[in-house]
Amino acid sequence: MKNAKSIILTIAAIVCSFSGVVAAKGEQGSGPSPYVECGIGAALFSNTSWAAVSSNVIWDLGLTALSSATSSPEMCNAKKVKAAMFIRDTYPNIVEETASGQGEHLIALLQIFECSNDSHAQIIQSVRSKVGAQVASEGYSSLSHLDKAAQYYNAINDTVENDFSTSCAA
């Protein structure tokens, strides 16, 4: 029981020490808040800052969140993390639906990126073209599941950010 209290107090102290990080969220020039907008906490608790911070600290003392904020701050966006995890978890379905141009996983992914319904057909067509080129490339079949999912993520993220930035909130 004494160990449990020590662990809880340690976690509480760590969470409190990072409260300044939560407060700084959104300040111009500050970049992403690692404990709120990065790591597993951002993916699980995108709308609850204290839960995101707590989760990141409990998971690995926030090391993953800090690492992602430093090495790839563009990924420190709860929607992008959620989209990447969704693609990873549903890759076989989503690539098949992309090839056919329709499907529930594909629509769910566009909803994660908060794309307007009016833009879905054009986005899907653009992603189909990019993913088709990926699938046809030499060596594609020997890639790992994670590498294929990463390539798919890059194709849709590029499409959403560069070609449809006014239609999506990613």
Per-residue model confidence (pLDDT) at position 83 = 85
Predicted confidence (pLDDT) per residue in 143-166, tens digit? 988 889 889 988 998 899 888 888
Per-residue model confidence (pLDDT) at position 132 = 93
Radius of gyration of the chain (CA): 18
- Cα 125 from Cα 163, distance rounded (Å): 12
The pair of three-digit structure tokens given for residue 44, joined into one six-digit string: 């699980």
- Cα 167 from Cα 28, distance rounded (Å): 24
- Rounded to 10 degrees, the C-alpha dihedral 94/47/64/160 comes to 40
pLDDT in tens, the chain (170 residues): 555 555 554 554 444 444 444 433 444 444 556 666 677 666 666 667 677 667 666 766 666 666 666 656 665 666 777 888 888 889 999 999 999 999 999 999 999 999 999 999 999 999 999 999 999 999 999 998 888 988 998 899 889 988 888 888 86
Per-residue model confidence (pLDDT) at position 165 = 85
